Chain A
């Protein structure tokens, strides 16, 4: 038998994945061995793991910038600027979620280790998605991420809403996976490979006389990805899941899952299938427009803040899709900027929601926010910053993000989408105003509503998110530079 040739491994490029998954495994092992685990340990462990990854991305970034993108392990994985940037975003989201999780778990009296383990694993899945150079690997990463999140959504074992949210998420998520896979299968048939580099190479060098299979594949793939990033009309799960799932998990869904999903979408659509951009761009544009309009519009009709933010996250997905549909370097960079900013906004916002939600994680109606400014001016102020950021008010990161995607759209000359986007932004602004009105302009139902103590971890998250949002709004240069250096490149496998 001929000796088996093992493929090349670039270990430093695998570091985030190894640290995250290894951290998860180790934490699980420790938890299953030690009787009385110090209560703070899992959280501290997760935060430290996240920070290690975050730190590791710095030298990785330098290395990628100096050595250029690389593909390894048989052309299955690649490391490029986008990988590192998305990894960093995911690491931030992990840290934030972990910080939110502990006070939450303690308040709800829930057992905790698994949440952290799943969080780390799910982040590992996200990293895989961001670095996948093969459709199958991409799919596996997606599944690791999703399955972990299905479980995390159900983790509030005392609330049946939590489990029902998980079930809905699961059924529709699996449905989407099937579409995604079918799309991958057809693309495989049309191009002869699942390696992204091969696919793009093949499509660049071959003119398909009959491209029906390819187009069907792209369409199905798009449906699957649209489900994952909750784009209209594949968004039906989002509000229910956001409402039912534990709030810190929702923060992760909004920040981490969305980031990974869009990273995957960019890799597949823009990078791999970029040669056929003219085929998928209109579809993505329609998805984007529909998401923005429906997300913003339906959000207006909600009375539950968590649902409002769920719909607004749909609208945000629409905005991010704008960057995708531009199918240009500027669009891609803008997507990364948006993802970074949205991560801050989402984690910060859901940190506030977690706090206000109170014991039982149920007080999410607008009523719960009435008079918040009087009870807890600082919390209300921070939420104001975050909401204004989501609305895209100038001098917040939200504006920088929206500006980026819009610029990309305008550069691509699809003005109608840009107009829809701005109309949706105006409608969405009303949503955030409603919350502001409740906080500032309405009296609380009863004066007995007591101050809820904001735990230290939550404070850190909210503080960092607000500071980050404002800082990016005022000094966006660094982030913009990084994002434009992070545009993904395919290297042959």
Chain B
């Protein structure tokens, strides 16, 4: 069996969808952020496999920047979570009902 790019792309698509579903179903902000990481990883996988199929380094270079962005996002996201949780223990996103419509 030869591993073709399609395998990777499929895996990435599944991973991405799982992340999206997780983000939509889970209510814990921390886990939601983790789901975003799952999605970004799927993107990374896609970039790398497409890059290697195309014989182009661009995919890997893009992943590099995605990594930086992911790290920055997590830092800020967690800082926000900390800021909230320090005042309110155990909040879930549903509890964030102050801003109801």
Interface residues of A (CB under 8 A from B): 136, 139-140, 143, 147, 150-151, 154, 157, 160-161, 163-168, 170-171, 174-175, 177-178, 181-182, 184-186, 188-189, 192-194, 239-240, 243-244, 307
**Contact yes or no, A185 B23, CB < 8 A:** no
Query: Which A-chain residue is minimally distant from B69 (CB atoms)?
Result: A143
Most chain B CB within a 10 A radius of its CB, from A175, A186, A189, A244: A189
**Contact yes or no, B56 A175, CB < 8 A:** no
Tell me, in angstroms, the Cα distance from A175 to B40 when the chains sit together: 9
**Contact yes or no, B33 A174, CB < 8 A:** yes
Q: Mark B26-46, 1 if CB is under 8 A from A, else 0.
A: 000100110010011011001
Query: Which B-chain residue is minimally distant from A191 (CB atoms)?
Result: B54
**Contact yes or no, B99 A165, CB < 8 A:** yes
**Contact yes or no, A139 B73, CB < 8 A:** no
Name the distance in Å between A218's Cβ and chain B's nearest Cβ: 15
Q: List chain A residues, Cβ under 8 A from B46.
A: 182, 185-186, 189
Most chain A CB within a 10 A radius of its CB, from B80, B83, B84: B80
Q: List chain B residues, Cβ under 8 A from A174.
A: 33, 36, 73, 77
Which residues of B, 61-80, contact A by the 8 Å Cβ criterion? 61-62, 65-66, 69, 72-73, 76-77, 79-80
* Residue B3 is within 8 A (CB to CB) of chain A in the complex: no
Q: List chain A residues, Cβ under 8 A from B90.
A: none
Interface residues of B (CB under 8 A from A): 9, 16, 19-20, 23, 29, 32-33, 36, 39-40, 42-43, 46-47, 50-51, 53-54, 56, 58-59, 61-62, 65-66, 69, 72-73, 76-77, 79-81, 83-84, 87-88, 93, 96, 98-99, 101
When the two chains form the complex, which single residue of A170, A184, A193 contacts B76, counting CB atoms closer than 8 Å?
Answer: A170
**Contact yes or no, B39 A171, CB < 8 A:** no
Known: A160-B87, A166-B80, A189-B54. A171 touches B43 (CB 8 A): no
**Contact yes or no, A163 B80, CB < 8 A:** yes
Q: List chain B residues, Cβ under 8 A from A143.
A: 69, 72-73
**Contact yes or no, B36 A150, CB < 8 A:** no
Tell me, in angstroms, the Cα distance from A192 to B66 when the chains sit together: 18
When the two chains form the complex, which single residue of B33, B72, B98 contacts A171, counting CB atoms closer than 8 Å?
Answer: B33
Known: A178-B20, A185-B47, A192-B56; 17 extra A-B contacts, CB below 8 A, are A139-B65, A147-B76, A150-B80, A151-B80, A157-B83, A160-B98, A165-B99, A167-B81, A168-B93, A178-B16, A182-B39, A185-B46, A185-B59, A189-B9, A189-B54, A193-B58, A240-B99
When the two chains form the complex, which single residue of A154, A181, A184, A186 contacts B83, counting CB atoms closer than 8 Å?
Answer: A154
**Contact yes or no, B73 A177, CB < 8 A:** yes
Known: A139-B69, A151-B76, A185-B46. A192 touches B39 (CB 8 A): no
Closest 7 CB pairs of A and B: A189-B50, A178-B39, A240-B99, A185-B46, A164-B96, A181-B43, A174-B36
**Contact yes or no, A175 B23, CB < 8 A:** yes
When the two chains form the complex, which single residue of A164, A168, A185, A244 contacts B43, counting CB atoms closer than 8 Å?
Answer: A185
Most chain A CB within a 10 A radius of its CB, from B29, B54, B77, B88: B77
When the two chains form the complex, which single residue of B23, B69, B76, B84 contacts A140, counting CB atoms closer than 8 Å?
Answer: B69
When the two chains form the complex, which single residue of B36, B62, B76 contacts A178, counting CB atoms closer than 8 Å?
Answer: B36
Query: Which A-chain residue is minimally distant from B68 (CB atoms)?
Result: A140
Q: List chain B residues, Cβ under 8 A from A151.
A: 76, 79-80
Tell me, in angstroms, the Cα distance from A99 to B98 when the chains sit together: 29
**Contact yes or no, B69 A178, CB < 8 A:** no
**Contact yes or no, B43 A178, CB < 8 A:** yes
Name the distance in Å between A127's Cβ and chain B's nearest Cβ: 18
Query: Which A-chain residue is minimally distant from B62 (CB atoms)?
Result: A136
Q: List chain A residues, Cβ under 8 A from B99.
A: 161, 164-165, 168, 239-240, 243-244
